[in-house]
Every structure is written in C-alpha cells, then in structure tokens.
Amino acid sequence: MEFAVIETGGKQYKVYPGQSLKIEKIKGDFKVGDKLVFDKVMLVESGNDTTIGTPYIAKAKVEGTLEEMGRYPTVEVVKYKQKSRYYKRNGHRQPYFKVKIGAIK
C-alpha cells in the first residue's frame, strides 16, 4: 500500500492516493477544483521501498484537488473571573480545506 507523510498548516498527515481529508486553510486565492501540490513530504512508502527525509524529501511531492472550502462548527470560548463581574463569551469557527489526494510522486 502506497502512502506518504506530508506537512501542511503546522500539522503532519498520513495520506493515501484517493483519500479525502480536511486540512488547515492555505493562504492564497483558491477555488473548488484547483490543483494543490504539497512539497513538504517527510516520508514515502511505495510497498517495497521506504524513503525518509531529513526533514523533507527533495524531489517528492503529493498532488491533490480542492474539493470543498468550509468552516468547522462553532467552538465556544468563555472567559470568567469570579467575584469581579467579569464574563466574556465568544464563538470561533476554524476554516478548512477538504482535499482529495491524487498522485504521490
């Protein structure tokens, strides 16, 4: 089974060809259907050969297609100090990209 470990958005993901996953939003102007190339590849396993980067593999890349741009459900953030009448309540929705992994090269 072929897979790779990539880094994007400060996180590491184990990806397979044909897999869909949600990653952190990438800066830039993107539309649904755009091709994304991840060049920070840390490990590639091709079934009989394993390549490990230090920290990245020089010529390896993973290609993907942007399927969806969305936002996660609301996370409530509450700040409270007792005995001082201090109470703040905020909500936060983290944006994400849903990416379908194509080829590992």
Instruction: Give residue 1's pLDDT.
Output: 82
Query: Mind listing the pLDDT tens digit for each residue in 19-78?
Result: 999 999 999 999 999 999 999 999 999 889 999 999 999 999 999 999 999 999 999 999
Q: Tokens 């379908």 label which residue?
A: 100
Domain ranges, ordered by start, for the chain: 3-104
Q: Mapping DSSP to helix (H, G, I), strand (E, B) and coil, where does residue 70 land?
A: strand
Write down the pLDDT at residue 35. Answer: 96
Q: What is the pLDDT, as a whole number, of residue 21?
A: 96
pTM of the model: 0.85
pLDDT digits (tens, 9 = 90+) for 78-102: 999 999 999 999 999 999 999 999 9
Tell me the CA distances in angstroms from 68 to 2, 25, 76, one per residue in order.
25, 11, 24
Strand positions, DSSP E, the chain: 3-8, 11-15, 20-24, 35-38, 41-45, 50-52, 62-71, 75-81, 86-92, 95-104
Q: What is the mean pLDDT of residues 14-18?
A: 95
Residues paired with 71 in a beta bridge: 95
Question: What is the pLDDT at residue 37?
Answer: 96
The amino acid sitting at 86 is: Y
Is 74:92 a contact under the CB 8 Å cutoff? yes
